Amino acid sequence: APSQRHTSKQRFLAEFSQCLYEFVIQLLPTREELIVKEDVRKLLERLIRTIEPESRLLSFGSTANGFSLRNSDMDLCCLIDSEERLSASDLVTMLGDLLERETKFHVKPLPHARIPIVKLSLDPSPGLPYGIACDIGFENRLALENTRLLMCYALIDPPRVRTMVLFLKVWCKRRKINSPYKGTLSSYGYVLLVIFFLVHVKNPPVLPNLQQMPPMRPISQEETTLHGHNIWFFDDIELLRGRWQSSNTESVAELLVDFFRFYARDFQYNTGVASIRAGLLKKDSKGWASESDRGTARERNRLCIEDPFEVDFNVSRCVTRDGLYTIRGELMRASRILASRPERAIVALAQLCE
Ligand code: CTP
Ligand code: MG
């Protein structure tokens, strides 16, 4: 009997891996969608240059990091290379007026937000059945860098890393635990949890720690500092292949089962901080546990995920007590479904994303 159990488990995992690949492929953006989005970016860049000739408009977030699902939002960042430039809030106001006049987008400028942005959307049309939603921010260079970091992690092992991340993005959206405004976690937060797991929890690791690998040549502090943060990481993935190979051979299904089990059961939510830069840290050592601190620190730091570059920033500070309770409940539910190993793997997948 034990060996029979063993083989039925192996069979389930092999089938589930296959299901995951097939499921995720259908969710990737189509070529047309990518072309339309790039056209939109170019159009917007041309318009912005009529206000700020020295500006560039760059993609970040999922459209640029390899973790994009079909019809996902566009995140754009405007960089201005000249010394004398308008303030972000003036730019947001002016750009809002211009786009309102010159384009068919619905435009909502938010010049007084913590990070001023212009929100744009386009209604669905036959060529664009889901429309487009897009945010334009300014000078958010750290977001461009963390996008590049995630992209590099995706490139190291696309079959396993991208499949896991894309599946989890669908899962958390379907299970409604992907709304920072409602006390749950952003997509960015979930991606960091996956990378933390693959770098620091799995043994042997599936991914190296790109921020701790020795550089190939001496680099000056100036080159690697942005707004006071160390943004260096090993970014030559071609070269990396010659220097680092994972000896972890687990399938994507095994990794996913283990991911759910780890975050459902083992991660120390009360004391731990997930840091992809430094491994598991303590809330205490980062000053994220102090009860006396205005009484709100505890509430802000229920779940702690350190930003890879802005290390004083808890990416999951929006997660409330109830939000974390719901997220953990969902992780347990997923873990339970997978542990029960339904007869057909496709049934497990459907249940997970119900
Ligand atoms: N970001 C950040 N800090 C946060 C949240 C987001 O720096 N607390 C930046 C990151 O560069 C991230 C980007 O904003 O890649 C977009 O975040 P998000 O929309 O959460 O992730 P996406 O991968 O774009 O997910 P989705 O497809 O759901 O939009
Ligand atoms: Mg996004």
Domains 31-143 and 157-207+246-352 share a fold: no
Q: Answer for the pair 273, 304: CB distance below 8 angstroms, yes or no.
A: yes
Q: 186 C-alpha vs ligand 1 centroid, how far in Å?
A: 7
d(CA 106, CA 109): 10
- Indicate whether residue 187 lines ligand 1 (CB < 6 A): yes
CA–CA distance from 56 to each of 29, 47, 75, 146, 321 (Å)? 24, 11, 14, 18, 40
Residues of the chain with pLDDT under 50: none
d(CA 51, CA 256): 48
Atom of ligand 1 nearest to the CA of 189: 20
In the prediction, which pLDDT does 294 show? Answer: 57
In the prediction, which pLDDT does 335 show? Answer: 98
d(CA 187, CA 268): 21
Residue whose Cα lies nearest atom 3 of ligand 1: it is 315
pLDDT digits (tens, 9 = 90+) for 70-89: 999 999 999 998 888 888 89
Long-range pairs of 138-141 with CB within 8 A, sequence gap ≥ 24? 138/77, 138/78, 138/79, 138/80, 138/88, 138/91, 138/92, 139/77, 139/78, 139/79, 139/80, 139/88, 140/60, 140/77, 140/115, 141/77, 141/79, 141/226, 141/227
CATH of 31-143, one of 3.90.79.10, 2.115.10.20, 3.30.460.10, 3.40.50.300: 3.30.460.10
In the prediction, which pLDDT does 99 show? Answer: 96
d(CA 141, CA 114): 16
pLDDT digits (tens, 9 = 90+) for 23-39: 999 999 999 999 999 99
Q: How do the domains of the chain map onto residue ranges?
A: 31-143, 157-207+246-352
In the prediction, which pLDDT does 136 show? Answer: 96
In the prediction, which pLDDT does 106 show? Answer: 97
In the prediction, which pLDDT does 217 show? Answer: 86
In the prediction, which pLDDT does 216 show? Answer: 85
- Indicate whether residue 143 lines ligand 1 (CB < 6 A): yes
In the prediction, which pLDDT does 215 show? Answer: 87
157-207+246-352 CATH: 1.10.1410.10
- Indicate whether residue 137 lines ligand 1 (CB < 6 A): no
Q: 61 C-alpha vs ligand 1 centroid, how far in Å?
A: 5
Q: 146 C-alpha vs ligand 2 centroid, how far in Å?
A: 13
Which of 188, 229, 316 for a ligand 1 pocket mutation test, highest count of atoms within 8 Å of Cβ? 188
Q: 63 C-alpha vs ligand 2 centroid, how far in Å?
A: 7
- Indicate whether residue 62 lines ligand 1 (CB < 6 A): yes
d(CA 324, CA 329): 8
